[in-house]
Structure 1
């Protein structure tokens, strides 16, 4: 049974449940709402992490950058890009472009955390959690903005996004 068949007036609740969880194809009606939820989660994560830098004090972020061989002069620019990019992703404004650009930040975090090991619960935090966010954000690059976006175009082409 497909989702479309289950939507018929005579469909029972168990039939709808079976259709939702056994359908291997993308549901064109509901997928955009799932992408929206992913976009909200990724956007909020970027905003919170940017604001956390100021809450801890930018000197802490500068020291972390220096410890990892990155110039501390990038502390305020990284804060700004994370905050603006997080807001843009959250609102669905150039979602694919901002997500693709911020993948660079996540790739650097995975690279920096690599020697610590897989588990994020390791001392110094491993690369498990940053890799998860990198893959989640890659899904946004591929899927676009989803529902309730300020910008409905994909940005990388002329398709929906």
Structure 2
């Protein structure tokens, strides 16, 4: 039987909650804004449209991986550039995310959360894939 510490449970709560948020944001880009709408938004910011597809894929698959606890450190590290991009996209809207267009406080905070998960790891109740653990070591 595995014994978990309070830190393990805290990491699990952070991992699962942030995974749910990523999944929700990715699905919102698909179902509410639509994929063409998201591509158009990215292009309106001067970004290439293909980054919208990569962002949606990262948010949906990354969210699922975080919920399950698969390669948490690696997934969280990979999601940091997505969040830094969101911070940049909202930077002209001021600090508060409740302002028009959403400010940069929320995506920057979320970046810190992902960096914290890189340090903490999966915590309790994570899916362990032996082949990934062998290949990635502590990042699995």
TM-score for the superposition, normalised by structure 2: 0.86
Pick one of 132, 139, 161 that aligns with 2:116: 139
1:95-146 Cα shifts (integer Å, max 9, x gaps): 0001000100001111121121111111110001111111111110111000
The answer on 1:29 being equivalent to 2:2 is no
Query: Paired residues, what number?
Result: 133
Unaligned runs of 5+ in 1: 1-27
Per the alignment, do residues 142 and 156 of structure 1 end up closer, same or farther by CA in structure 2, a change over 3 Å counting? farther
The residue number in structure 1 matching 2:47 is 70
Offset at 1:156?
Answer: 6.0
Pick one of 99, 104, 113 that aligns with 1:127: 104
Q: Rg bigger for which structure? A: 1
Q: CA RMSD in A?
A: 2.1
Query: Whole-Å Cα distance in 2 between the matches of residues 158 and 133 of structure 1?
Result: 22
The answer on 1:60 being equivalent to 2:40 is no
Equivalent residue of 2:97, what SS?
Answer: coil
Equivalent residue of 2:88, what SS?
Answer: helix
Query: Whole-Å Cα distance in 2 between the matches of residues 158 and 52 of structure 1?
Result: 32
TM-score for the superposition, normalised by structure 1: 0.75
Query: Whole-Å Cα distance in 2 between the matches of residues 158 and 115 of structure 1?
Result: 38
Query: Whole-Å Cα distance in 2 between the matches of residues 31 and 158 of structure 1?
Result: 17
Bigger proportion of residues as helix: 2
